[in-house]
Amino acid sequence: MMMQGIRKASQGLLGKLVISVLFGVLILAFAIWGVGDIFRGYGRNEVAKIGKAEIGVEQMRTAYQNEIQNLIRQQRRQISPEMARALGLDRQVLSRLLTESTLDQTAQGMRLAVSDDTIRNLIFDDQVFRDAAGQFSPARFNELLRSNGYTEQSYVALQRSTILRQQLSEMVVGALTAPVALQEIGSRLRNEKRSITFARMPASAAGEIAAPSEDQLKTFFNDRKIAFRAPEYRTAAILSITAETLADPAKISDEEAKARYEATKAQRFTTVETRTVQQILFPNEEDAKAAKAKIDGGETFDEIATERNVAFNDLTLGTFTRAQMVDPVVRDAAFGLEEGAVSAPVKGAFGTVLLRVTKVDGAHVRPFEEVAAEVKQELATSRAATQVTELHDKIEDQRASAKPLAEIAKDLDLKLRMAGPMNAGLGKPDGSREEALPGGDPTLQAIFRSDIGVDNEAIRLPRDTGYVWFDITKIDPARERSFDEVKAEVETQWRADETSAKLSAKARELSERLDKGESFDVVAASAGLTIETAADLGRQDQRPELPGTVVAQVFGTAAGKSGSAATPDGGRILFKVDSATVAPYVRTTQEAGNFERLLSQSVGEDIMLQYVAKRQAELGVSINEAAFRNATGGAQN
């Protein structure tokens, strides 16, 4: 609200004069009292310093957001800020940036360099930057750089740094091979197989759980208050503009759409003819002519194939378009046949053949009426893309006048979305989830870094596809909930814990009986359990009947011994390891060669990490935790 007031005050001439004097006094005060971190040196805008290099807040924030987006694409689900931090993603990104800076400064200290010719050849040889003719395309090069947020200079600098880092890595760990003893240990860990006898213990096997008393529940609640704490919830007004949201297909005329359709019909809306072709190969033309004569006399193509010992699966060449058939003679013959017809002998590049076309899928052009809506949407989106920048400037002008987003949306006839109340993981107080926000995780993080009345900067969407603005309208602080509020949740968790404890004790009792020599049949029968077996169980196996947690416990138990492990459904699995076997390590196999390369690479990475750690100790590293939290959206102390 203070910023909005300053904006309003600065609109008039007198207001501008007053504001100028005010800020002049503030700047002078900072100079007199020596508050210099705002303007110089290692201050709140630097996340870390290593040697002579600094990692800025924006550099850290950009790298962190990119890493989260990569993880979202890999996992195909939303990753909340809490999840990212729980995975240690923020620290991993900072570590990577520090490592890169370490190697860059080391290369500089060694006076290593990469020639311009090397960089030029690297770019020209990159298949990504080539056009349909296979030639380097400057237009495609510039387009891809721009869409990924690079300038030519920044991309060249990135490639130069990457090559120098690779050279350093080769100097430190190049040609390293893992010792044979380590290979044998690794092979055992990878290839050991185990056979087990096991039985499922459902949650019901724990027996009856008596109803808890009020005092029991309160004690349980008091010992675990933090687990039942209500998180902070926020409500925000969100305004987003993208070409897709601004597009209005109704404004595209049929004439415009038809013109676009005709221009792209051959490439986008035409399916070319395909044919499924079979062939029988003959040693010479005479044999092929004789076979064709038999077919003309009444024998079938399949019967000729049988006579010549051609398996049915070997008859079919495949399904091709005309352009996909390499041999022009065979292509012309195949595409000149009617469906089901057999050709005369064809002298192809690989011998004389008889051809049969078993299926013809003719060329098909989707009519304009079928794709009109799609074409209009595409045209409208393309046209709207030019409006995004213009609309962005209009919104920013109104924001400069201290207008709230709700008024701006109304003035410009834009849709305003009210999101929340929601926590930092998009959860809502009633247990449901807020729909994904425009801009995804960066928008959510920005909302939880801001405050009511703060003038928030617009969030630019990836690849410059649009912008997102938001205003925080309400904050419900995190708080401890009373026992009465969460009594039902407390009882549910209490029962789950009691069930788990009883089941674990029962499994431990049964396991002890097995280790004392009782047979699995007798022990299982006494507990009413059904016996199952699993053979050739690998350390990395994930079987439906044996979750990963159980497999890990199996491989942590000695052969001949028993144990138990919890399952995701609240039950347990009782097991006995019947055998543990591992095949001899034969270094001459292809699999062993591949493993040796992977293991050597892993050892090399470990050595490289030690080298980097030593160089960082020599250069000196300091981290500004406050700036780090600011860049990654972490909680403030």
* For range 19-46, the mean pLDDT: 44
198 pLDDT above the threshold of 90: yes
Helix, strand, coil share (%) of the chain residues, nearest 5: 55, 20, 30
CA distance 468 to 463: 14
Both structure tokens of 113: 């360099």
Helix ranges restricted to H, 267-404: 285-296, 301-307, 328-334, 368-400
Tokens 């996340």 map to which residue? 47
Q: How high is the pLDDT of residue 25? A: 39
Of the candidates 272, 254, 270, which has an alpha carbon nearest to the alpha carbon of residue 325?
A: 272
Give yes or no for residue 145 having a pLDDT over 60.
Answer: yes
Amino acid 76: pLDDT: 65
Domain 41-173+619-632 of CATH type 1.10.4030.10? yes
* CATH classification (class only), 273-362: alpha beta
Q: What is the rounded CA–CA span in Å between residue 74 and residue 68?
A: 10
Sequence-distant (6+) residues with CB within 8 A of 356 are 277, 278, 279, 301, 337, 340, 341, 342, 343
pLDDT band at 17 (very low <50, low <70, confident <90, very high): very low
CA–CA distance, 553 with 573 (Å, rounded to integer): 10
Tally of CB atoms within 10 A around 377:
16
DSSP 80: -
Give Cβ neighbours of residue 510 (< 8 Å, ≥ 6 apart): 523, 527, 564, 574
CA–CA distance, 578 with 575 (Å, rounded to integer): 9
The residues facing 471 across adjacent strands are 237
Highest mean pLDDT: which of 25-39, 64-78, 335-349, 453-467?
Answer: 335-349
pLDDT score recorded for residue 463: 64
Decide if 158 contacts 100 (C-beta within 8 A): no
Average pLDDT, the chain: 83
- Is it the case that residue 234 has pLDDT exceeding 90? yes
Strand partners, 572: 201, 566
Tokens for 198, please give them.
């096991």
Integer angstrom CA distances of residue 234 from 120, 122, 295, 375: 50, 49, 80, 40
Convert the pLDDT of each residue in 422-447 to its tens digit: 998 888 988 899 998 988 888 898 89
Lowest mean pLDDT among 294-308, 335-349, 380-394: 380-394
* pLDDT confidence tier of residue 326, bands split at 50, 70 and 90: confident
Structure tokens at 179: 């010792």
Name which residue leads in pLDDT, 472 or 18: 472
pLDDT in tens, 156-197: 888 888 988 888 888 888 778 888 888 877 777 778 889 999
Q: How would you classify the pairing of strands 46-50 and 53-56?
A: antiparallel
Q: Mean of the pLDDT values across residues 236-256?
A: 82
The CA-CA-CA angle for residues 591, 592, 598, to 5°, reads 90
Q: Give the model's confidence band at 4: pLDDT under 50 very low, under 70 low, under 90 confident, else very high.
A: very low
Over residues 40-57, the mean pLDDT reads: 78
Is-contact 195 481, C-beta < 8 A? no
**pLDDT single digits (tens) 297-322:** 888 888 888 888 887 777 888 888 88
Q: What is the pLDDT of residues 121-134, one digit of tens each?
A: 888 888 888 877 77
The answer to whether 587 and 180 are in contact (CB under 8 A) is yes
547-555: long-range contacts (C-beta < 8 A, 24 or more apart)? 550/575, 554/194, 554/196, 555/192, 555/194
The count of C-alpha atoms lying within 13 angstroms of the C-alpha of 583, restricted to the half-sphere facing its C-beta, is 10
AA letter at 578: D
Please state the domain extents for the chain.
41-173+619-632, 193-229+486-581, 233-253+379-476, 273-362
Tell whether the model's pLDDT for residue 634 goes beyond 70.
Answer: no
| Count of C-beta atoms within a 10 Å radius of residue 578 | 15
With bands split at pLDDT 50, 70 and 90, how would you rate the model's confidence at 1? very low
Among 217, 271, 219, smallest CA distance to 487 is for 217
pLDDT by residue (tens digit) across 252-271? Answer: 888 888 888 888 877 778 78
Indicate whether 227 pLDDT > 80: yes
**Three-class secondary structure assignment of 179-209:** CHHHHHHHHHHHHCEEEEEEEEECHHHHCCC
Task: Please identify which residue in the block is written with the tokens 């019909």.
Answer: 265
Q: Per-residue pLDDT averaged across 493-506, rounded?
A: 91
Rounded distance, CA 283 to CA 309, Å?
Answer: 13
CA-based torsion, 336, 339, 344, 348: positive or negative: positive
Report which DSSP code applies to 268: I
Backbone angles phi, psi at 35, to 5 degrees: -85, 80
Q: What is the pLDDT of residue 19?
A: 43
